[in-house]
Structure 1
């Protein structure tokens, strides 16, 4: 049985044990690294332990994330978070595409949080399920201007990391502003903090703990309060998010592994396969077997 491997940022350079926290790459550099001998053994579908923000200036490319395919073209930004299953499928991609990517770890983001505004970012925690954002012409021009200055600083022989961090902060805030202009919502900092803590605990415990009470107890708030905060931040209840996280993992395992339905159910904490199948169908509209067949 093949498991989904998780790769660090250093793997891109064939040096998985070399610590890297931030990389800025043009599309040409990305294709060169992916096609290099250092990455021939990388599993086609895999997880990253870092964030990846990529964009397209011209041409078209497909990105596969958690079993869904997204087509990116001019003005599009794509956001992949640590732990999401990414699939390399550049066989039919025109290598003349122009764009780039910023890759950075959670540790690098933590270094930016002395700026309180960075702490309020929501898109990096995947509040918005759609990782695909399109920028209108005017916004795209402003975004690329900041990115261009960032790349120039990175390319210097003696880069100033304080400037690089400030420019990355500007890029992240620009993306947040663009998302907020599409999805109008006023969420308090307190609600965002609770959401992030909930998501952290959920990521650690969703396989064995599926009741809201488990998480509200660790957040030192009532179930009712937790649900209210989550609904205002994500429009979903705690139960919705717990089920959604479990079913996301189920879809990953159905699509990317050869585990049978019983093994998947058991690995996610469901001892009753029929109950697991019922929940999966409620969440996706398909049985696990039908979903696997539809994705083959």
Structure 2
């Protein structure tokens, strides 16, 4: 970009001016590596996806003394604009957080082949040499949550609330559904999408309707929308299952467990690789049960009986060994059923 080049020239003039005034150029040499994230829908404090990603970068800042920043997006047109802003700031690694950034990251990666990029929760058929896609096997952790929900349910009715029908959310959806039905054939899974990752009121409303329909346990894979569903569980003295990070603190007597998706590990590792000179674009990173990057939160021990936890651990071992295959979308679910 012309603006970026102009900024570089301006930076050189500033350095020259500092030398004339007796300031050392040592500060320039010690300038830290910079990593920034561009968010899709939702705030940085969404109690879920975005917040977990940011926590990983904050830890990397402590460990490696890097510069970190984030830009929120209010609408789709903000994606490219936010990336351009970070390019103009000479950010070393720009990370798109969520499937919504997929096309924008790809477009900008093609336009700026020397810039390092990453995308969380998405990948490409043809991966650019300067992009690292990071994907998770959410379906594996969701299967375990479905098995636990089926075992814990007193009504044989459990629910799933999705934010939007992204590939990652569908992994949660059909992993959970398959896990519940494989554990107990009598279980009915109620399903609904909110078409939002930031509407707490809608998440709460959908959950209230499900609880009124005899559902007693709901998994929400919906970002901040899911926070509303957890509030409904608390008000109705029902069960909820969190996602992405341990959400038990939102309702300690109601969130029986959370499906962990360690976005903090992924963002931390991206920064670590960059600092250590191990950034390698052109191929995706995949995190699942084997990598200890998805699973069930330790807080499950508080509300879930040990025999059910033992059962979940047995199922996890079978997934790791390949004995149990878990569907990632509706087509795979139907073929496995």
TM range (shorter): under 0.3
Structure showing greater radius of gyration is 2
- Normalising by structure 1, we get a TM-score of 0.27
